[in-house]
Amino acid sequence: MGEPRAIICLPTYEERENLEPMVAAIHAQLPAAEILVVDDNSPDGTGVLADQLATRDISLHVLHRPGKQGLGRAYLAAFAWALERRYDLVLEMDADFSHDPRHLPSILRAARDADVVLGSRYVPGGRTVDWGLARKLVSRGGSLYARTILGLRVRDLTGGFKCFRREVLEAVDLPSVASTGYAFQIELTFRAIRLGFRVVEVPIVFADRRVGRSKMSRGIVAEAMRNVWAMRFSPFGRGAAAARRPTRGPATPGPATPGPRPSRA
């Protein structure tokens, strides 16, 4: 058995200036990994640029979608694409340099004995830079809200710098995930934990995007606040954790700080 095959899903909507440096920075960290750009027909031509880059980079793939349908839909399409092609590890990260590719190696290391790895701003060693107080409160408060209502021990539930073992994506019943935006991130982690998968957090430093503007909105925050309640009372995967646990054995503790933290429901 060699190294696991990894694919990094990079959703883009108007990321023309970030795309090429981002692809180069990922390759610099993980020369063997492949990248899938999922573009929602960006008016600024990001998808066209991705195609151009792919003609001279065989590890770069491009999935075009007809129009902007939100981050959650883009990820679902990317995951289906990756599962069809039998990748072992499926990663997601933003294309705007908020998620620094230098964290990729520690995320992949943690994936050796975890089913889901979360790049986390809120474990020791993790942080946000250049954020005002209001944004900090919304993000911290959002994770605290979701974690309390869902009864989870995960510190950073809304982040989108993650790695899934393929078995997790096969088990979570992707077509029934309705959330987009931040709720999408919460829902996938919640479902994985309900199914008894092992979720760990590794510290990341989250920076502001390099260029361009955010596509997130107030509506996306409101969706997350509502959907958390729907998740809590949904029958999805109830009881599955207990059934899975014995087959996977006890959780192995990660290294001392900073390192992966087991966070099971």
Ligand X SMILES: Nc1nc2c(ncn2[C@@H]2O[C@H](COP(=O)(O)OP(=O)(O)O)[C@@H](O)[C@H]2O)c(=O)[nH]1
Nearest approach in angstroms of CB 88 to Mg ion is 27
Tell me which of 12, 98, 158, 180 binds Mg ion, using CB under 5 A.
98
* 64 near ligand X, rule: CB under 6 A: no
19 binds ligand X (CB under 6 A): no
Binder among 27, 209, 245, 264 for Mg ion (CB under 5 A): 209
Integer Cα distance of 227 and 236 in angstroms: 14
Residue of the chain from 12, 139, 143, 263 that contacts ligand X (CB under 6 A): 12
The answer to whether residue 139 forms part of the interface with Mg ion (CB under 5 A) is no
Do residues 106 and 91 touch, judged by C-beta distance below 8 A?
no
Nearest Cα to Cα of residue 71 among 155, 138, 158: 158
Q: Yes or no: say if 4 and 89 are a contact pair by the CB < 8 Å rule.
A: yes
- The amino acid at residue 201 is E
98 near ligand X, judged by CB under 6 A? yes
* Residue whose C-alpha is closest to residue 248's, from 151, 117, 154, 114: 114
Q: How far apart are CA 75 and CA 187, in angstroms?
A: 13
Contact 217, 183 (CB under 8 A): no
Site for ligand X in 75-94 (CB under 6 A): 94
> Does residue 35 contact residue 59 with C-beta atoms inside 8 Å?
yes
Among 148, 176, 214, 252, binds ligand X (CB under 6 A): 214
Of the candidate spans 62-70, 94-102, 151-159, 223-231, the one that interacts with Mg ion by CB under 5 A turns out to be 94-102
Asked if residue 217 binds ligand X (CB under 6 A), the reply is no
- H or E, element range at 203: strand 199-203
| Min CB(19)–ligand X separation in Å | 9
d(CA 128, CA 172): 30
First-to-final CA distance of the chain: 31
Report the nearest approach of ligand X to the CB of residue 85 (Å).
Answer: 19
> Helix or strand or coil: residue 214?
coil
Rule CB under 6 A: say whether 223 interacts with ligand X: no
Residue type, 113: D
**96 lies in the site for Mg ion, by CB under 5 A:** yes
Stretch of 51-59, 135-143, 209-217, 249-257 contacting ligand X, by CB under 6 A:
209-217
Residue from 40, 115, 156, 223 touching ligand X (CB under 6 A): that is 40
* Widest pairwise Cα distance in the chain: 50
Report if residue 95 touches ligand X, rule: CB under 6 A: yes
Residue closer to Mg ion by CB (options 140, 245) is 140
- Which residues of the chain form contacts with Mg ion (CB under 5 A)? 94, 96, 98, 209
Residues that bind ligand X in the complex, under the rule CB under 6 A: 11-13, 15, 38-40, 68-71, 74, 94-96, 98, 209, 214-216
